[in-house]
């Protein structure tokens, strides 16, 4: 099943709101709130709020982009977020509910950013510069990856 942050956002947010704070991941070490905050961080990367450098060789970025954005490959389970050193970050928000609310606002900011900057290509640290439609592909696959992590696909 696909996840669609662009055309079915209410359904995406409703699914996230159905997540219990005590839910256990099928894979990985994130708690539900860590996962939501992590998704929010990637939305911020894509809406012009933060500029990140490319963290891999350009040829590796191209290859990853071809697999994930241009191809059918999902985001692999067990992939480690660059710079995470396999440890959970300190939570930024007081509750899971607040984290979901912030994520929802971040998605609205993503929309607004590309309405006002249609030719922008914010940097993805592993895949290079992505345009609006490429970011949507990435976010949909990324959200799906984490929905699978917490069995949210319905």
Cα separation, 151 vs 18, whole angstroms = 11
Between residues 80 and 134, the one the model is more confident about:
134
Confidence of residue 60 (pLDDT cuts 50, 70, 90): very high
* Residue where the block lists tokens 């990856």: 145
Q: What is the DSSP letter of 93?
A: S
Distance, CA of 49 to CA of 33 (rounded, Å): 21
Q: What is the pTM of this model?
A: 0.93
């Amino acid at each position: 099943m696909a996840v669609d942050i662009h055309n079915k956002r209410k359904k995406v947010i409703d699914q996230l709101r159905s997540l219990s704070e005590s839910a256990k991941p099928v894979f990985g070490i994130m708690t539900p709130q860590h996962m939501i905050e992590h998704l929010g961080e990637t939305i911020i990367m894509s809406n012009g709020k933060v500029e990140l450098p490319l963290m891999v060789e350009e040829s590796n970025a191209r290859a990853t982009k071809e697999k994930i954005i241009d191809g059918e490959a999902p985001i692999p389970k067990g992939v480690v977020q660059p710079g995470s050193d396999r440890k959970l970050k300190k939570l930024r928000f007081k509750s899971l509910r607040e984290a979901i609310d912030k994520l929802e606002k971040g998605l609205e900011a993503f929309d607004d950013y590309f309405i006002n900057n249609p030719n922008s290509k914010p940097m993805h640290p592993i895949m290079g510069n992505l345009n609006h439609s490429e970011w949507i592909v990435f976010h949909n696959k990324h959200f799906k990856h984490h929905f699978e992590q917490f069995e949210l696909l319905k």
